[in-house]
Amino acid sequence: MGSFVHLHVHTEYSLLDGACRIDSLVQRVKELGMDAVAITDHGAMFGVIDFYKACVKNGIKPVIGCEVYTAARSRFDKDARLDADQGHLILLAKDSAGYKNLMKLVSASYIEGFYYKPRIDIELLEKYHEGLICLSGCLAGDIPRAILDNRYEHAKELAVRFEAIFGRGNFYLELQHNGIEEQKLVNMKLRELSAETGIPVVATNDVHYLNKEDARAQEILMCIQMAKTIEDEDRMTFRTDELYLKSPDQMARQFNYCPEAIENTVKIAELCNVEIEFGNTRLPTFEVPGNVDKFEYLRELCLKGFRDRYGDDDSLLERLEYELSVIRQMNYVDYFLIVSDFIRYAKENNIMVGPGRGSAAGSLVSYCLGITNVDPIRYSLIFERFLNPERISMPDIDIDFCYERRGEVIDYVVNKYGKDRVAQIITFGTMAARAAIRDVGRALAIPYSEVDRIAKMVPMQIGMSINKALELNSELRYAYENDHRVHELINTAMLLEGMPRHASTHAAGVVISSEPITEYVPLYQSEGNISTQFPMTTLEELGLLKMDFLGLRTLTVIRDALNMIEKNHGIKIDIDNIDMNDPEVFRMISDGDTAGVFQLESSGMTQFFTELKPSSIEDIIAGISLYRPGPMDQIPRYIRNKKNPEEIRYAHPLLEPILNVTYGCIIYQEQVMQIVRDLAGYSFGRSDLVRRAMAKKKKEIMDDERQKFIYGETDPSGKVIIPGAVRNGVDEKTANEIFDEMSDFASYAFNKSHAAAYAVVGYQTAWLKRYYPVEFMAALLNSFLGSPEKISRYVYECRKMGIKVLPPDINESGVGFTVSDGKIRFGLAAVKNVGSSVVKQIIAEREKNGPFTSLPDLCERMEGRDLNKRCVESLIKSGAFDSLKVYRSRLINSYEKIMENIANAKKMRMEGQLSFFDNSGTKSSGFDVSYPEIDEYDDRLLLAMEKDMLGLYLSGHPLREFEDDINSWVTIHSVDLVDDEKLGEESGNGIADGTFARVAGLVTDIKTITTKSNQLMAFVTVEDLLGQMEVIVFPSVLEKYGAFLKPELPIWIEGKISVREDEAPKIIMEMAKPIIKGEKPFEPKRYQDLSGGAANSTGNIQEIKSEYGTVIECLKVRIPEGTGKKIVHAVCSMLKYFDGTVPVYVYHEGTVKKGFRVTLNNTLINELKSMLGADNVKIDKVPV
């Protein structure tokens, strides 16, 4: 052990209050000659496993600890006047018992003691003190604060009490040398206290950052945490730059007056010997009925499921027995029983369960148990892709449930295994490159526009870092090297980039433990959700059972559609047994009618499938797998081979049975595994290891595997272990070519098991849409209640499909959208200010006593329930009473008086006076209401009311008369600016920053602000036929076009898309003009009309030719220096795929390539911009 050990250290996991990255911390400790170090993050243990592994890897002894917060009184006391402040204590684990007690203390601080901060109290310390060493903490500790408050005797009492709790030699008074004046007084008094009590002292430095020069970064980090800027005088600050990782010599010099404080750090570190176990599975025990052998019970369940699935086809029993033997060998019998049990529970309780997700669909055992519903035999799925006996790792089964009832399944698991043994899982939001720049820029008080400009110079690519962006973008590099503010911004952002920013609960992850979870993992609580403090990957390393309980909206849509079909048509459909080869369904997909179809409805996928023309479920599986960066290279070849099967060429006949299902293309990981197995004789387990090695592209491993693939492998005695391709009749040249192709594609290859499961769901939704479109669309609309922009999109889609969507009706509507006579009726709960509770009461009354005959009838029959004036007004405005043939204007002017009279009548009856209506027992409908003789509101006001109450225009739209012009000229709709993940379960829309946009709509809201230069700018909400979008209008543009930004005035707007990572894209307006029917929006000087695919684009090209005569439209693409080969290949693939007539000029490595011609469309341009950056893709004109 060295001469000094840092025992009070904050890492990056003291979220936004520690600037020490764990890896850098451990390296710095090593550089400074220390051989041990502690982790003591604020209130939490988020980083202890990463810290432990990094220390062990580098030969540094890890000391596991935490700086806990102490409650002013009890942890249960939460009075703002008395309990808002907390003390600090450092707790360090000596051994396994101490580590477990530390986890219990930290867990209780969140679950029981959280109030501003997670807090513990004396009671908890007395209960869980064993195996812990305690230090008195920094200036915020209870003992130092008592000293600063001139309460020395109280400080002594606390010290004596802590020593009594932890035991002699396990409690230390903490001295620091941090340059803060108050610390000098505290140090003096602590030494005095030590002399009086015999409690030893120890030296620490409350490390928050690695180097002295990082103090500024720490300040900025705290500004980000507190939402302050460096210029705010009231911001929290440390008032010192001494809280860095000092060397042993520095610490010895600073404490030369008290050498025992330095020596005690080593003594404490020697006492701390926590060892954390990895890889030992801690699965809960599954209790089988009748106390029979668990494996035999699992086997019986599988055999029963096998007979249900395959009948008497015993040819597959060998695979089932093999899978069972692997499961038994790997000790995962309990795992499969647990999963099949909660899925059985879900199905028995009519909770929709997905067909499978991920590699689990490759397991015959999973299929026979009903865990998955995708036949692994039919789709040639491989078990070893899921569970490999040659690579020991936890199986990973992720399950999709109906998103409305997912919680019921989790509750079942909690009740079965114990509340203390089940928890959700934490996840950390990290500061990505652009976000780090924005956060730091805000903290440095740099103007938003300048920060935004710099942030957008960082390409939006997976794995992009600021450092990499500086290499790729010369403009960013120039700003960094020549502007001192940008230099500080970038340097600080690089220090903080990738650090965890905040903790939240994983959307789906659940962990189940054999013992109370706090035996293995500390717990965290946020907004009532209890989760682990370790993320998913760490839990797996610790051997805990982790599963994803995912809520899939599409399953709820399928469930609701099936229920409506049964109700309306008397047909009970088994969605798992529909015809999966229906040509009508494939024709619908090929025609691009995919709105609402799972996985296929984004604009890019829709266009791809219109080209692909799928004719089997295998085509849909392939399409889902191919439409991603990387695999897109194969799209042109796949489509060409599908259309011309006679042109398919296989490098060797052995490849045909493997690749014929994908027309000669390698698409799936399973195909890579099958090729090395069938051609070279690998085992399935070994083939999965090869696939993984290829995906990682490590040269030494790849060279070794190439040798084995081609020539095989023998043991020292000459026994053949792997035959190799040559022994199997493949010549050396062909074998090398096949290996090259597999290697190129292995990192892109998709898991077919996952694609197959999602293709099945996608096909099921397409089938429902094709044969029961009204019920399907009604179910889809119901799944988006509360999201007006999505409702608007799908109502518009209904209109395109010829399905009429009717307004809400007090006598016809249900809670949500319902189907009636081939039409969809708006639900009452979708009306603003009308809750589902009162709607259920209205429906119950209507079903019991008949339809409502008038507004007074409704009010009389609903008196005393949840129906209030605001609710009635909203129902009137929405048109819910239109069928009663009374003008909305008259109802609006009468409803308050009607409700008041009814309330008074009730009071009179209670007092024994006459009924409001009469005493003859007649219904309230007999009451004669004298409505005011006023005309109905004009159509515009009626539409405005409808829009206000329903969130969209339903019976008409102010833009309807311009619809043809709008669809001809706009380049983008509001719905294109909504994240597709919120519309379905798909990826984002991929619109690139700087993309040209032309929109049409009505101004519905204008907010103006004054800029620092005392000019007005505006944030304008514009509504088009499908929803709303935000338009930003800067001062110069507002001055020029502000007259057109009038409420309800239909206008054209041109500008550019502004994309930020953390919010929906916006439009930066450049010009505007009113819409005049039949008139073009603007002169065609910059046409980039990308909205309508091939047909529209071609039309625009011709128009430019006739307008200008001597020029044609072209696409210019610049591939920046340093762009990776994968991106270059993907760009070329996109250009090949969108083959057409528009010439393309590709600028790359000093040359111009002119071989491509494309069809211009939104998808192509957005994909290119997302890969290369907006500045590198341009639509231009060149002389003919």
Question: Cα separation of 78 and 75, whole Å?
Answer: 8
Question: Cα separation of 423 and 529, whole Å?
Answer: 9
Query: Above 60 in pLDDT, residue 1088?
Result: no
Query: Above 70 in pLDDT, residue 472?
Result: yes
Cα 1072 to Cα 626, 998, 1018, 1068: the distances in Å are 40, 10, 14, 11
Query: Above 50 in pLDDT, residue 1108?
Result: no
Per-residue pLDDT band at 979 (split at 50, 70, 90):
low
Q: Are 1016 and 1010 in contact (CB under 8 A)?
A: yes
What tokens does 372 get? 């998955």
Alpha helices in 421-545 (DSSP H): 433-443, 448-455, 466-472, 474-482, 484-496, 536-541
Rounded to the nearest 5°, which phi and psi values hold at 423? -150, 160
Q: What average pLDDT does the structure give for the chain?
A: 86
| Nearest of 433, 440, 439, 478 to residue 456 by alpha carbon | 433
How does DSSP assign 303-370, residue by residue? HHHHHHHHTT-GGGHHHHHHHHHHHHHTT-HHHHHHHHHHHHHHHHTT--B-S--GGGGG-HHHHHHT
Query: Above 60 in pLDDT, residue 1103?
Result: no
- ∠873-875-880 over CA atoms, to 5°? 140
- Among 288-292, 309-313, 562-566, 984-988, name the most confident range: 562-566
pLDDT of residue 1100: 36
Residue 1031 DSSP label: E
Per-residue pLDDT band at 1111 (split at 50, 70, 90):
low
1120 or 654: which carries more pLDDT confidence? 654
- Report pLDDT digits (tens) over 271-311: 999 999 987 888 888 888 887 899 999 999 999 999 999 98
For residue 241, count other CB atoms closer than 10 A to its CB: 17
Q: Are 1041 and 954 in contact (CB under 8 A)?
A: no
Question: Any idea which of 533-547, 791-805, 1036-1050, 1076-1090 has the lowest mean pLDDT?
Answer: 1076-1090
CA 188, chain centre distance (Å): 52
1064 or 142: which carries more pLDDT confidence? 142
Q: Are 92 and 86 in contact (CB under 8 A)?
A: no
Query: Above 50 in pLDDT, residue 1093?
Result: no
Q: Are 1006 and 1020 in contact (CB under 8 A)?
A: yes
Query: Above 70 in pLDDT, residue 89?
Result: yes
pLDDT of residue 165: 96
Three-state SS string over 68-84 comes to: EEEECCCCCCCCHHHHC
Strand extents, DSSP E, 44-157 = 61-71, 86-93, 119-120, 132-135
pLDDT of residue 1173: 84
Residue 493 DSSP label: H
Per-residue pLDDT band at 1071 (split at 50, 70, 90):
very high
Tokens 């020395």, located at residue: 152
Angle of helix 773-782 relative to helix 788-801, nearest 10 degrees, comes to 170
Burial class of 608 by CB neighbour count within 10 A (0 to 12, 13 to 18, 19+): buried
What tokens does 936 get? 């109905």
Per-residue pLDDT band at 927 (split at 50, 70, 90):
low
Burial class of 259 by CB neighbour count within 10 A (0 to 12, 13 to 18, 19+): exposed
Sequence-distant contacts of 689-695: CB under 8 A, at least 24 apart: 689/388, 689/390, 689/391, 691/746, 691/749, 692/391, 694/742, 694/743, 694/746, 694/747, 695/746, 695/747, 695/749
CA 464, chain centre distance (Å): 18
Question: Cα separation of 272 and 38, whole Å?
Answer: 10
Question: Cα separation of 196 and 3, whole Å?
Answer: 27
Question: Cα separation of 497 and 465, whole Å?
Answer: 8
| Nearest of 915, 911, 553, 938 to residue 761 by alpha carbon | 553
Residue 318 C-beta-side C-alpha neighbours within 13 Å:
1
- Report pLDDT digits (tens) over 495-539: 888 888 888 888 788 999 889 999 999 999 987 788 999 998 899
Q: Are 627 and 762 in contact (CB under 8 A)?
A: no
How does DSSP assign 946-984, residue by residue? HHHHHSS--S--TTGGGHHHHHHH-S--GGGGS-HHHHS
Of the chain, the percentage scoring pLDDT greater than 90 comes to: 46
Cα 430 to Cα 496, 526, 763, 1139: the distances in Å are 9, 18, 36, 40
Question: Cα separation of 85 and 77, whole Å?
Answer: 12
Q: Which residues pair with 203 in a beta bridge?
A: 175
Ramachandran sector of residue 311 (left: φ over 0; alpha: ψ -120 to 50; beta: rest) = left
What tokens does 200 get? 């030893």
394 or 163: which carries more pLDDT confidence? 163
Question: Cα separation of 643 and 631, whole Å?
Answer: 19
Query: Above 70 in pLDDT, residue 768?
Result: yes
pLDDT of residue 905: 78
Query: Above 80 in pLDDT, residue 991?
Result: no
Span 129-135, mean pLDDT?
Answer: 96
Residues whose CB falls within 8 Å of the CB of residue 362, separated by 6 or more in sequence, listed in order: 376, 381, 382, 383, 384, 385, 386, 670, 752, 753
- The separation between the first and the last C-alpha atoms of the chain, rounded to the nearest angstrom, is 79
Question: Cα separation of 806 and 819, whole Å?
Answer: 10
Query: Above 60 in pLDDT, residue 920?
Result: no
pLDDT of residue 578: 94
Residue 1119 C-beta-side C-alpha neighbours within 13 Å:
21
- Among 318-322, 495-499, 1063-1067, 1163-1167, name the most confident range: 318-322
Ramachandran sector of residue 176 (left: φ over 0; alpha: ψ -120 to 50; beta: rest) = beta
- Among 992-996, 1068-1072, 1154-1158, 1170-1174, name the most confident range: 1068-1072
Rounded to the nearest 5°, which phi and psi values hold at 1080? -65, 150
Query: Above 90 in pLDDT, residue 176?
Result: yes
CA 55, chain centre distance (Å): 32
Q: Which residues pair with 1060 in a beta bridge?
A: 1063
Question: Cα separation of 715 and 1044, whole Å?
Answer: 82
Question: Cα separation of 63 and 4, whole Å?
Answer: 13
pLDDT of residue 1106: 34
pLDDT of residue 36: 96
pLDDT of residue 982: 37
Set out the domains of the chain in order of their start, with CATH numbers. 22-210+245-271 (3.20.20.140), 289-422+506-521+533-554 (no CATH), 428-504 (1.10.10.1600), 571-761 (no CATH), 792-798+805-813+825-949 (no CATH), 956-1082 (2.40.50.140), 1088-1184 (no CATH)
Is the model's pTM score more than 0.85? no
What tokens does 373 get? 């519903």
What tokens does 303 get? 């055999």
Query: Above 80 in pLDDT, residue 1091?
Result: no
| Nearest of 939, 861, 853 to residue 899 by alpha carbon | 861
- Among 125-134, 481-490, 942-951, 996-1005, name the most confident range: 125-134
Angle of helix 732-746 relative to helix 684-696, nearest 10 degrees, comes to 70
pLDDT of residue 684: 76
Span 41-66, mean pLDDT?
Answer: 95
| Nearest of 156, 561, 198, 159 to residue 352 by alpha carbon | 561
Question: Cα separation of 272 and 570, whole Å?
Answer: 71
- Report pLDDT digits (tens) over 412-465: 999 999 889 999 999 888 888 888 898 899 888 888 888 888 988 888 777 788
